[in-house]
Amino acid sequence: MDFTFTEEQQAATEAAKAVFSGVVPDGVPSPALVPGAVAEDIDRSLWAGLAAGDLLSLTLSPEHGGTGLDLIALCLVLRESSRVLARVPLLETCAVAMVLQRYGDAGLAAELLPRVGRGELVLTVGANGRSGHDPAELAVTARRDSGDSDSGSVWVLDGVQSGVPWAQVADWIAVPAHTADGRAVLSLVRHSDEGVTLAEQVSTSGELLAEVRLDGVRVEDRALIDTADAWEWLRALLTTGTCALALGLGETVLAMTSEYTGKREQFGFPVATFQSVAVQAADRYIDLRAMELTLWQAAWRISTGTTGALPAEGDIAVAKIWASDGVRRIVQTAQHLHGGFGADTDYPLHRFHAWAKQIELSLGPAAAHEAALGDLLAAHPLG
């Protein structure tokens, strides 16, 4: 494998660095100091900056006003976003847009995607199901409305998706569901649709989530994707993108730890020179490199469709295992090496710790992906 990024991918990284350069992680109240969400909206000025920098249209085709880049480019941008704890639904919006472009109704895609690229629309997705432990598509049922005069033109959704990021401010919510014959489908709904109710929830990182309840919600045929593998592909995009978020956050936290231990002195020497400190930091550096390698392997498999001994789901599972375990170990070691200073709410490390815990558990903790990897190995024995 060649992990050299193309000129276009490197340009996307530089553009992202420029947009995120002015973002301060302490720009909203600390999740440790407020009882509810840290804010009621996304960072709209940053969202506008991402649109102006053509980063929201990065993976859209030219016919929809985009540059036609792939998941690898998106992961490079996501990596930069998590370095500063950017409060924008970049992953959710871009992932849903990619699925709509690939599998959705052509007319609806032409209507929505150019507006997504211009920052006029926010998209999100319910990927947690009822509890975050069971497959998300099992939490909602989708059935044809047999009583509709135009047979097959309307679907009816019933169920609950929990922990939907920024559902209150999203223009469209992608909802996975299952049909009576067990097929997974993906529908687009709006929180203003009749039968959709939202209950406020708050993430570990202090960001606004929602429980989205669907009670007989009617969805036009063009707003429901009944193509095989559409939901599986969206979940793969989300999981891999989450790994990119873990990587960027972990890199920033390790850099903060290096800077602090290089300045903090005990017995007249920087604590970074102590063997026990150096060994712990070295272990976390190894975690980062493993997180990086497995991330690009998974993104490459998805982007190119390259076959291997295991399906791409195996590489995605390995990447999420490393991302979940690695980011947890990195922030725990950082807290330990910072001492009491790491828990000071005037210092940003505690925010990174909260975000890391949210990322670790998003779309399944390491144990869930280890079980999935075991199932794949059982189904595809390696010769």
169 CB burial (10 A radius; 0-12, 13-18, 19+): middle
User: What is the rounded CA–CA span in Å between residue 193 and residue 28?
Assistant: 31
User: What is the rounded CA–CA span in Å between residue 68 and residue 19?
Assistant: 20
Q: How far is CA 50 from the centre of its chain?
A: 16
Confidence label for 267 from pLDDT (cuts 50, 70 and 90):
confident
Residue where the block lists tokens 């947690």: 128
pLDDT score of 228: 85
User: What is the rounded CA–CA span in Å between residue 181 and residue 178?
Assistant: 8
**DSSP H helices in the chain:** 7-20, 44-52, 71-83, 90-103, 106-117, 230-263, 275-304, 312-338, 349-361, 366-379
pLDDT score of 152: 54
User: What is the rounded CA–CA span in Å between residue 190 and residue 196?
Assistant: 8
pTM of the model: 0.96
Strand-pair partners of 189: 173
Q: Given phi > 0 = left and psi -120 to 50 = alpha, else beta, which region is 146?
A: alpha
Among the residue ranges 29-38, 59-68, 232-241, 335-344, the one predicted with the least confidence is: 335-344
Report the 10 Å Cβ neighbour count for 304: 12
pLDDT score of 169: 97
Of 186, 189, 174, 173, which is closest to residue 229 (Cα–Cα)? 186
Q: What is the rounded average pLDDT for all residues in the chain?
A: 94
Region 192-203 average pLDDT: 97
CB 243 within 8 A of CB 320: yes
User: What is the rounded CA–CA span in Å between residue 163 and residue 94?
Assistant: 18
Digit-coded pLDDT (tens) for 34-43: 999 999 999 9
Region 332-346 average pLDDT: 89
pLDDT score of 34: 93
Sequence-separated (6 or more) residues with CB below 8 Å from residue 61: 68, 101
Among the residue ranges 70-74, 208-212, 258-262, 361-365, the one predicted with the least confidence is: 258-262
Coil, strand or helix: which one is 40? coil
Of 228, 204, 192, 243, which is closest to residue 75 (Cα–Cα)? 243
pLDDT score of 147: 62
Per cent of the chain over pLDDT 70 is 97
User: What is the rounded CA–CA span in Å between residue 257 and residue 319?
Assistant: 24
Region 102-110 average pLDDT: 97
Tell whether the model's pLDDT for residue 167 goes beyond 50: yes
Packing angle, helices 230-263 and 312-338, rounded to 10:
20
Digit-coded pLDDT (tens) for 56-100: 999 999 999 999 999 999 999 999 999 999 999 999 999 999 999
User: What is the rounded CA–CA span in Å between residue 99 and residue 325?
Assistant: 28
Confidence label for 151 from pLDDT (cuts 50, 70 and 90):
very low
Coil, strand or helix: which one is 19? helix
